Structure 1
């Protein structure tokens, strides 16, 4: 639920929750998704085919098959990239995101000027994770997060 708030749904000035409906919808979707996952697990353990490759060859794989493993990794990376772009679009064009560093205790704001300088973005990676530098945890503005 805190992640819904960071996307700016149901949050007002100062981080105050002003609408609980987005949280209710998230709870219902999680409940339905977990039920589908549970029923799928019961089906595949009791009724489904012993090996999935016999019925649906697309879902079968062998760990030594480099092409199939590369395809699986590629699909996952594409989905992660699309999710990252959705976050950027949400922050820049569709209502903004909750910024904890905004004056007055935080606020939902649209990111108008994300950091596109690669030196700034990758500069967080070359900091020392020990001591006071903070490594990746030292990001202190939403422009760097959305630009990254």
Structure 2
């Protein structure tokens, strides 16, 4: 087994730090719902493994990151792990020796996301979707009706 060169190891560490930063900071600044510490540490461990295998096995790095995004949040593209997925997807296309593993990996992620949607895992609805009377259209339509009835009478 070859030893990693210091320059490649440094680049790998910088890549990991850039990918771990959103995963650590998104909860703390309120962009995600707070997660337990063990879940954050497990996510960082998976990002570490994905970064370690990104050069030799880009499909595995993309698959690990996609599995992390699907398992940790209701949406695949989360604030915490979406940037890592966005980095490993182009690397999958650039570094994969053949197109079949890359296409298979993308299809597996799409199927897993579809299964998660079919099982009913959803994110929280917007406030206007929960109460349609509070939406802007509902207020302007009722005002228009009141104005038209005032003019008629």
Could you tell me the TM-score, scaled by structure 1's length?
A: 0.30
| Bigger Rg, which one | 2
Bigger relative contact order, structure 1 or 2 (CA pairs below 8 A, ≥6 apart): 1
User: Which structure: greater strand fraction?
Assistant: 1
